[in-house]
Structure 1
Amino acid sequence: MPDPVTGTVERAPVDPAEFRSLMTTHPAGVAIVTTTAPDGRPWGMTCSSVCSVTLQPPTLLVCLRAQSPTLAALLEVSAFAVNLLHDRAQPAADLFASGSADRFERVAWDRGPDLGLPHLVEDAHTVADCRVSETLPVGDHVVVFGEVLNVRKQLDRQWSPLLYGMRQYGSLRPSPPGPGRTWADG
């Protein structure tokens, strides 16, 4: 029944499964958000909810599960790194999505030169070190805004970003031309 003042019809939100199905149709870049706890222990999780916010000051946002131990550590130190993955880093994306306790023992990483945050040196094409500027709880996630303090590019390799959509990984790297097909055919 329409609201008598606004004329709008009040509707319940879609079912979470329907919303998840909608969002799988929108491919997104894959990143691993990393941080260190005050005791120096590294933490990290796979994240496809990364977005630029503003150039002045340079700010991005990540959306992390509210109950995540990575989020808890990140909030304690007020800093995090966003490791943007290249298209050969699917194993790292899967590992950091799994919650495996030994994930940092199974990937190559080092502490970034400025803030000492974990940089995934073989799986990330670019890493942004961020200082938390604001947080906003939304449902079962927390939106974390980070002012970008440093950008480190892995310049010694060819890369294409790792994407996730339609419940599968992909990239922007073009497929080699097949019989009767040229690069211009797309």
Structure 2
Amino acid sequence: MTDAREFRNALGRFATGVAIVTTRTPDGEPWGVTVNSFSSVSLEPRLVLWSLAKKSYSLEAFRKTGSFVIHVLAADQEHVSNRFARGADGKFAGVPCTDGIDGSPVLPGCAAVFQCRNTHQYDGGDHVIFIGEVRHYDTSDREALLFYKGSYARAANDLTDLGDLVRSEYAAAS
């Protein structure tokens, strides 16, 4: 059996999007966390999922909420991802949010935004899996921020871009 780091590195071979999930605590405080565990579940009804480590500082805020908003970050939002990835307070300081349909904070400039009712929570080993019913969504034409092999990445838009990417990766490895 391999160790946890090797397993995590193997999982990192699958490129994912980067998202921020926001909510409001029962006392009205805005809360948010960066995740890359977002996925679709069902088209009818419209269901999505994301997961959060049981040891996360943010877990109780999301366990106790009736709604959350998933923000698929745009390629130029690395700084926003980094801000919400830290465990400290003050993540929303200076961020021009609006309130979503259920009062959860909505961040500007994202590639897509999904406003969800928190319908189910499941044990998932060392994580809790949250299922949300999408009540409203918005999209833009902005390129999404990706995470691959432990780093931020950008998607190749066509085969020409992919060829350039492969050539640059090959040159860097030589």
Q: TM-score range by the shorter chain?
A: 0.7 to 0.9
What number of residue pairs does the alignment pair up?
A: 163
In structure 2, C-alpha distance between the alignment counterparts of 1:152 and 1:71, rounded to whole Å: 26
Q: Which residue of 1 aligns with 2:11?
A: 23
Residue 168 of structure 1, CA deviation: 1.2
Q: Which runs of 5+ in 1 are unaligned?
A: 1-12, 176-181
1:14 to 2:18 alignment:
no
Give me the CA root mean square deviation. Answer: 2.0
The 5 A counterparts of 1:51-130 are 51-112=39-100, 114-122=101-109, 124-130=110-116
TM-score, with normalisation over the residues of structure 1? Answer: 0.80
Cα distance change of structure 1 residues 169 and 78 upon mapping to structure 2, 3 Å threshold: same
Number of the residue aligned with 2:146? 163
**What do residues 97-151 of structure 1 show as CA deviations (whole Å, max 9, x unaligned)?**
1123111004332211x111111113x2221011122111122210111111111
Amino acid at match of 2:152: Y
The answer on whether the counterparts of 1:43 and 1:69 sit within 8 Å (CA) in structure 2 is no
Q: Is the 8 A contact 1:92 1:107 kept in 2?
A: no
3-state SS of paired residue (1:103)? coil
CA radius of gyration, larger in: 1
Q: Deviations over 1:7-46 (max 9, x none)?
A: xxxxxx5321111111111110000011100111011110
- In the alignment, the residues of structure 2 paired with residue 44 and residue 65 of structure 1 have an alpha-carbon distance, to the nearest angstrom, of 14
Distance change in 2, residues 1:99/1:183 (3 Å): closer
| Cα displacement (A) at 1:161 | 0.3
Match of 1:134 among 120, 133, 142: 120
Q: Distance in 1 between matches of 2:36 and 2:62?
A: 17
State the identity %. 33
